[in-house]
């Protein structure tokens, strides 16, 4: 669930390497409700860590998420209420 992101950026005179962590839920349909809840707990424990997710990629996916989480108002709500 925690993913490490590594990038190298080149400026005019120096090269900077950055490593960061993110909470990776990716898509609601790829996680159980328990995993999404754990992601929310991690975010609460580490508020400066980013959450990486994909939302509303296409209409079929939106309908699939609605069928999996009928108690939620929409795709975004699935993530904001659990992460």
- Helix residue spans in the chain (DSSP H): 33-45, 59-68, 75-82
- CA 36, 71, 76, 57 torsion-angle sign: positive
2 confidence band (pLDDT: 50, 70, 90)? very low
| Residues above pLDDT 70, as percent of the chain | 72
Task: For residues 8 and 18, give the distance between their C-alpha atoms in angstroms, rounded to a whole number.
Answer: 6
Convert the pLDDT of each residue in 8-20 to its tens digit. 555 555 555 566 7
């Amino acid at each position: 669930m925690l993913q490490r992101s590594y990038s190298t950026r080149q400026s005019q005179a120096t090269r900077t390497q950055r490593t960061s962590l993110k909470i990776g839920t990716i898509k609601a349909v790829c996680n159980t409700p328990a995993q999404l809840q754990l992601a929310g707990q991690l975010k609460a424990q580490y508020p400066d860590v980013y959450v990486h997710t994909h939302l509303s990629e296409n209409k079929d996916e939106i309908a699939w998420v609605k069928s999996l989480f009928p108690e939620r108002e929409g795709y975004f709500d699935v993530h904001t209420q659990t992460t």
